[in-house]
Structure 1
Amino acid sequence: MNGSLVANETAAPSPWVGAVDDNSTLQLSSEPPDFAINPWDIMLCISGTVIACENAIVVAIIFYTPSLRTPMFVLIGSLATADLLAGMGLILNFVFQYLIPSETISLITVGFLVASFTASISSLLAITVDRYLSLYNALTYFSERTVLYIHMMLVVTWGVSLCLGLLPILGWNCLDEPSSCSIVRPLTKSNVTLLAVSFFVIFTIMLNLYFKICKIVCRHAHQIALQQHFFPQSHYVATKKGVSTLAIILGTFGASWLPFAIYCLVGEHDYPPVYTYATLLPATYNSMINPIIYAYRNQEIQRSLFVLFCGCCQTNVSYRSRSPSEV
């Protein structure tokens, strides 16, 4: 590399988020280095831990519940798996960053995070497409063709995500040319721009699909009202709830990722790292909220959770109630 880190008592190691100075020189000191930890990295690690725990439960429930094998739950499982990997990536990045600092490991962890978050966002798009198809082709939705579409979307989702994650590892990075670094080292500015543009494309498609879903829901409610010659309060409440849910889903997704995506386009590598952290941290919250919106609010998953925890409690109680001679 043409540049190197400058060690001082206040600077915390930040190999993958930060500014790069081409004219910097390595300053060695006879005093032991101060092992300062960036508070932003701690918050990212905590966020990753919560994300991993939440989504690990969802993945386990879907995997061990035979009834949750419908296309919808397969896509929710894909989303939970992607968010689980993203949470693990944030934890591993923190561990490697402070315990085993290495350019090679930095490339691997950043590529892992890129692939995981890309798979998460792409899974959200796949869920949106599935919801649109379930309303637009309601009569033929439960058919083998739908299953084929779901499998194709999963293959494309994870295939593209894996390719984007491998790009930095295969050479598209700024380790040999620090001036080309983006706000997230060691990704180049062009790489980050590609990811940001891809996000805006996905967000636009989701916005269009959710708008069409709202139109279909309102049209169905209007048809029911015409058939019954009045608009029942229950249909009004259901329609309002459905539209509100769609607004919450899209609003949460946009509020989480838009600041970071915009900053990826306008930010420069010599900007203060705090700007990157301040936009990246809210983006991770989307993976924290996803299981609440898509999984834990579902009645079947709630039922499976109830059975799981009740079964564990009953097993624990029965084990404790057994006499020592029976154990």
Structure 2
Amino acid sequence: MIFSLAAAAAMSSGGGSLNTSFSPLLLLDPFDASSSPGPSNWSLPDDPANASAAGGGGDPGGTSAQTLGPDLRTATGVTAGAVGGVVSVAMTPAVGAAVQEFFDIIFCSILPPPLVSPWDVALCVTGTLVSCENVLVIAVLCYTPALLRAPMFILIGSLAAADLLAGLGLILNFALAYLVEGGPAELPALLSAGLLIAAFSASVLSVLAITVDRYLSLYNALTYHTERTVACTYAMVALVWVSCLALGALPALGWNCLRDEAACSALRPVTRANAVALAAGFLAVFAAMTQFYLQICKIAFRHAQQIAVQHQFLAISTTKGVSTLTAILCAFGACWLPFALYAIVADHTYPMLYTYAAVLPATCCSVINPIVYAFRNPDIQKSLWLACCGCISSNLSLRPRTSSDV
């Protein structure tokens, strides 16, 4: 017997109470009396309509109709009337619930499970790539401890650690969303959000610290390479991480919107006030970076003009350096500005598509950072060559690298 899907839809939309005036159709098997011998139609002896149908040609094949006795009707709760090969069935609530359960089991076993969002997959892949890149940077720095005596490499290590945590946070967020049955619990979700906030905040502030270090290496060129500079660099890194860990702890300490959905930003469970504060902080960092890079360009051009003998060489070198700085600043702004502006104007009512479109470029900045600040550095390239093949490429410059190099 094949149940009509319209009947199932009507029963499911009707809730728990079945409307007995509705008679879902129970279609007979195609093997009727004309194509298959033996009884094929159910009828009721005490139903006048059924009796008249049987006597008036309702059974054209001449077969006798089987009787659905009162005992069977009482047990199943079904009453039926056959008219021209179609039986109209009126079901009791008990039978309706059984049929609904039957369809639930069938559809749940046939329909595929909810698909994974391609945006979440993209974020997880980005997190994996970020983690692999920055693990390599940290391994090179640990393989060459002498590099950590220079302020620039201390800051590069801080940036790599921040981006590594950001990549692991993206992977953890994906695992909590799709691999934990029933979704993440409240505390793990808050800790995951706090980890992402702390990691990306440390990444942005480490980039700012690298910019400040480049400026100081030009502005105080004579006193830059001292133990005092190294101590100040470690202090700056410690301040950055303490501040960022404090920001990351805010959601778990109660600054979240799990109890008040109206206060949520587009990045649940972060409140809208916190999201606006973080975005405003980023805009301030971006403005400071722009100002420092402008000062670096001014100092570089002034040095080029002061040395007349090497004027042409330095002019070419300075132009190349300014172009590199401009590309770095533009890439940083292109990654983070859309997210910052979106966090200011958006709230929890905005479509998730907009949120993903703003978050993904920001995470891609952590993919670019190792390339811009680490893998372009000749000292790190030398360490990579030594670690991988025990030799140094002849294309690498043997001139010592300074923070002012870009």
Percent of aligned pairs with the same amino acid:
54
Q: Which residue of 2 aligns with 1:298?
A: 377
Choose the corresponding residue for 1:214, options 281, 293, 297.
297
Q: Which residue of 2 aligns with 1:321?
A: none
- Per-residue CA distance 1:178-210 (angstroms, 9 max, x = gap): 110100000000010110011011111111111
Q: Which residue of 2 aligns with 1:273?
A: 352
Within 5 Å, give how 1:38-49 maps onto structure 2: 38-49=117-128
Partner Cα separation in structure 1 for residue 221 and residue 135 of structure 2: 31
Aligned residue type for 2:377: N
Asked if 1:117 is matched to 2:194, the reply is no
Within 5 Å, give how 1:125-164 maps onto structure 2: 125-164=208-247
Partner Cα separation in structure 1 for residue 176 and residue 195 of structure 2: 13
Partner Cα separation in structure 2 for residue 152 and residue 114 of structure 1: 21
TM-superposed CA distance for 1:144, in Å, is: 2.1
Q: Which residue of 2 aligns with 1:173?
A: 256
Unaligned runs of 5+ in 2: 1-103, 392-406
Where relative contact order (Cα < 8 A, 6+ residues apart) is larger, the structure is: 1
Q: Which residue of 1 aligns with 2:190?
A: 107
Choose the corresponding residue for 1:231, options 308, 311, 318.
311
- Per-residue CA distance 1:200-234 (angstroms, 9 max, x = gap): 11111111111100100010011112xx2x732x2
Report the TM-score when normalising by structure 2: 0.67
Aligned residue type for 1:174: C
Aligned residue type for 1:113: L
Asked if 1:282 is matched to 2:361, the reply is yes
**SS, match of residue 169 in structure 1:** coil
TM-superposed CA distance for 1:59, in Å, is: 0.6
**SS, match of residue 37 in structure 1:** coil
Q: Which residue of 2 aligns with 1:322?
A: none
Q: Which residue of 1 aligns with 2:174?
A: 94
- Per-residue CA distance 1:43-75 (angstroms, 9 max, x = gap): 000000110001110011011202212110010
Partner Cα separation in structure 2 for residue 153 and residue 247 of structure 1: 25
Partner Cα separation in structure 1 for residue 199 and residue 290 of structure 2: 22
Within 5 Å, give how 1:192-207 maps onto structure 2: 192-207=275-290
Q: Which residue of 2 aligns with 1:15?
A: none
Aligned residue type for 2:355: T
Runs of 4+ in 1 over 3 A off after TM superposition: 29-33
**SS, match of residue 140 in structure 1:** coil
Please say which structure displays the higher CA radius of gyration: 2
Q: Which residue of 2 aligns with 1:257?
A: 336
Partner Cα separation in structure 2 for residue 78 and residue 188 of structure 1: 28
Aligned residue type for 2:152: M
TM-superposed CA distance for 1:308, in Å, is: 1.0
Asked if 1:185 is matched to 2:268, the reply is yes
Report the TM-score when normalising by structure 1: 0.83
Bigger helix fraction: 1
Q: Which residue of 2 aligns with 1:18?
A: none
Partner Cα separation in structure 2 for residue 62 and residue 292 of structure 1: 15
